Structure 1
């Protein structure tokens, strides 16, 4: 296709460490590598506005402020986001706009695009329920406020020509809770070639103890406490260790839980790691576990699958789209720690089973290659530029 000038709105963007930020970074740099002139509007990591060029992408940073309960993110005020995104829109003059959020910054991007008549694509990565726990609201009002946020998301995204979400389940939520009548699934995509499974019979690093890996924010909805409790239920004569990669509000509490349950010697909290260290963590693991119950896709689960790992995951939200019980892993009912421990014990004790399920993970994840995702979005950009209707798949 012809080269386009594309403006990507991102409520969170690298160096932020979360799935939405990683997707936005991957989308922007991937499109730039395909010859497009890509501009990103994102909150400033320092708070001050400015412009920088990263990996061939022009990143316009908007004034932001830190919200203490959400230390990993910078938030923009509605008035600053509206004024600055409008000015950036006029300066960049994009052919097409692709927002990845509907909060202050995303709303500013959407409104500026609509006022200037520019084609607009919108992608949702947000579960409002993950946000309300960090707001100073009485517990009884949180579900009410989450419902309002879904409706607000629907109002903002109804202004887009095309709305997408990363999985069929995430699309269902847009119709059920946000009231949108048309949306369809486009995988976030990953660079599957970056992840390499350990060869059959290849020795592990370290002492050879089979390793369970978790990667993600250490926040309540990830429910890592269930994984730690499951490790405590494993037979002591079954070699096993748990590596926890990531940081967040619950790290101290979950570290204390491991100590309380007598498994501190089996659980290692690594905090944030570099990209190379993350690749090494995947390559050195034997089983990946995702106990979270609010995953709209779970990029880290896709990455683990690309690294050839069997996956044990909660039977919740979009995770059943990735894990096929008996094929590439197992699902457990959230809260059923004994079921989770049973799945882990079976995999940890059977190297041949891990190898077979890991190979299946590699096959399943192939359809999530980033090139396919980029190609799909390029086709969508062409359609909105031509003002063609785009219908959701039934």
Structure 2
């Protein structure tokens, strides 16, 4: 493999949104360029996206239409602009981070230019609850989309020379749906930014009334697939203990729904919703927590759970998909039965009562450092280039 690679990243989600896909791309871009490679990002976006991008940062923002039900994603409508800006530039690798309008354009561009292509399977867009939530209310169309989601995934990723799964559980899922030629390359966590030495006292003082209280944190999108109702049910059970406070940090389409649920459960005094948290402030939120709760059964890897571990915070998470791999009971957290509020409450209490026993969080996070994940990504690129005769 060449010492200097020219790489394209194609994505339908980008700044100012900072989800797992965006964090992964930016971490990889920074580390790859640090090693002497060139990385160009082609993303859908708007004026806010352009404002968030640094000048001369090898980033092309395609005009797009906001996807109202899922505002992190934009539907690009003039992808050929990228071709004009690239001219006849030759790239070594095309990396597709999403399988939608920009991803499909990237696939076409790569095929026309005979560039080895790798596609990342970041999101379970094939899940029925996601399709119902974020597409149309028309039941006939919903059924069609649900029925065709995996065939589409198989078509898109089947056209790639390689497929990247962020965890072994997702690689196995892809194999079950006849999507082969896959490699496990975890998305990375910035272990310098998120570390146990960050001071979270300011956040604790804001949300806790006394030193004896314990803070249970969730960070992420407030949406149906994240199963936040499980955390609220656990909060209802633990309320009688009088030491637990719950902080739900983030925003999303289900924010008002969960606020109303918390009020209905009589949890207004112990459950707080912070709303949007600036990326620069996020390490302080993790540092403020005694335990991190991730009730989602949607995680292909679980970047926020790794950020919590990197901050020295044990994770209580659903025993499902990637979280099942990441969480080691009694070491870096505890797993609970998926969608089970009673078990979630039990495991939160177990961790809080035995905080001194959980000491492997940072060690786990270091396994997913930017450097180690980038090493694995470059191994995939090398394998594809060797197969392509480069």
- TM-score normalised to the size of structure 2? 0.89
In the TM superposition, residue 89 of structure 1 has moved relative to its aligned partner by 4.9
The Cα offsets for residues 187-216 of structure 1, whole Å up to 9 and x where unpaired, read as 0011112222269xx999423321001011
Match of 2:193 in 1: 194
Match of 2:233 in 1: 229
The Cα offsets for residues 226-251 of structure 1, whole Å up to 9 and x where unpaired, read as 10121111152441111111100111
Other structure's SS at 2:324 match: helix
Residues 384 and 114 of structure 1, relative CA distance in 2, 3 Å threshold: same
Distance (whole Å) between structure 1 residues aligned to residue 244 and residue 56 of structure 2: 43
Match of 1:162 in 2: 162
Q: How does 1:5-16 map to 2 (within 5 A)?
A: 5-16=6-17
Alignment check: 8 A CA contact 1:89 1:113 kept: no
Match of 2:81 in 1: 84
Distance (whole Å) between structure 2 residues aligned to residue 153 and residue 28 of structure 1: 25
Match of 2:73 in 1: 73
For structure 2, list consecutive stretches of 5 or more residues without a partner in the other structure: none
The Cα offsets for residues 121-161 of structure 1, whole Å up to 9 and x where unpaired, read as 22111212234421114457646523412221221222222
Distance (whole Å) between structure 2 residues aligned to residue 346 and residue 278 of structure 1: 26
Distance (whole Å) between structure 2 residues aligned to residue 385 and residue 87 of structure 1: 26
In the TM superposition, residue 59 of structure 1 has moved relative to its aligned partner by 0.7
Alignment check: 8 A CA contact 2:116 2:388 kept: no
Q: How does 1:228-307 map to 2 (within 5 A)?
A: 228-307=232-311
Distance (whole Å) between structure 2 residues aligned to residue 52 and residue 16 of structure 1: 10
- Of 100, 122, 126, the residue aligned with 1:125 is 122
RMSD: 2.5
Q: How does 1:1-394 map to 2 (within 5 A)?
A: 2-46=3-47, 54=54, 57-77=57-77, 80-81=78-79, 83-128=80-125, 129=127, 130-139=130-139, 142=142, 144-177=144-177, 179-197=178-196, 205-206=204-205, 207-208=210-211, 209-348=213-352, 350=353, 353-357=354-358, 359-387=359-387
Distance (whole Å) between structure 2 residues aligned to residue 34 and residue 76 of structure 1: 31
Distance (whole Å) between structure 2 residues aligned to residue 121 and residue 88 of structure 1: 22
Alignment check: 8 A CA contact 1:163 1:183 kept: yes
Other structure's SS at 1:312 match: strand
Distance (whole Å) between structure 2 residues aligned to residue 388 and residue 91 of structure 1: 20
229-238 or 298-307, which deviates more: 229-238
Distance (whole Å) between structure 1 residues aligned to residue 86 and residue 105 of structure 2: 10
Distance (whole Å) between structure 1 residues aligned to residue 119 and residue 140 of structure 2: 31
Other structure's SS at 2:153 match: helix
Alignment check: 8 A CA contact 2:10 2:41 kept: yes
117-126 or 127-136, which deviates more: 127-136
Distance (whole Å) between structure 1 residues aligned to residue 112 and residue 51 of structure 2: 24
Distance (whole Å) between structure 1 residues aligned to residue 120 and residue 388 of structure 2: 18
In the TM superposition, residue 65 of structure 1 has moved relative to its aligned partner by 0.3
Other structure's SS at 1:98 match: strand
Distance (whole Å) between structure 2 residues aligned to residue 387 and residue 295 of structure 1: 31
For structure 1, list consecutive stretches of 5 or more residues without a partner in the other structure: 390-394
In the TM superposition, residue 368 of structure 1 has moved relative to its aligned partner by 0.7
Distance (whole Å) between structure 1 residues aligned to residue 337 and residue 308 of structure 2: 21
The Cα offsets for residues 311-335 of structure 1, whole Å up to 9 and x where unpaired, read as 1111122110111123222111222
The Cα offsets for residues 67-109 of structure 1, whole Å up to 9 and x where unpaired, read as 22122322224xx33x334445545432221111111110100
Alignment check: 8 A CA contact 2:203 2:284 kept: no
